[in-house]
Amino acid sequence: MNTKLKLSSIPDDKPIKLTVDLPAPVHRDLLAYAEVIARESGQPAPGPEKLIAPMLQRFMATDRAFARLRKPRHRSA
């Protein structure tokens, strides 16, 4: 079965280290998501820590209110 995941590949970029506490259900969901990515790609499952940044990036990129509010407003002189 070919599914349409919002996240299909994990880019390899220089990370900034953060420490976060996740609820256990979120961690379980990240592990499950990684397993689905592995099945779909035929590659080993990425660690859950590799999923968080691309998921947040995707979320912010598709949040229309954030995009609208992020744009600088031009003032007339």
Supply the DSSP string of 6-59, one letter for each residue: S-----------------HHHHHHHHHHHHHHHHHHSSPPPPHHHHHHHHHHHH
Check pLDDT > 60 for residue 1.
no
**Residue 77 vs residue 21, higher pLDDT:** 21
**Residue 4's pLDDT band (boundaries 50, 70, 90)?**
confident
**pTM for the full predicted model:** 0.69
What's the pLDDT tens digit per position in 10-63?
Answer: 667 777 888 999 999 999 999 999 999 999 999 999 999 999 988 998 998 898
The confidence score (pLDDT) of residue 69 equals 84
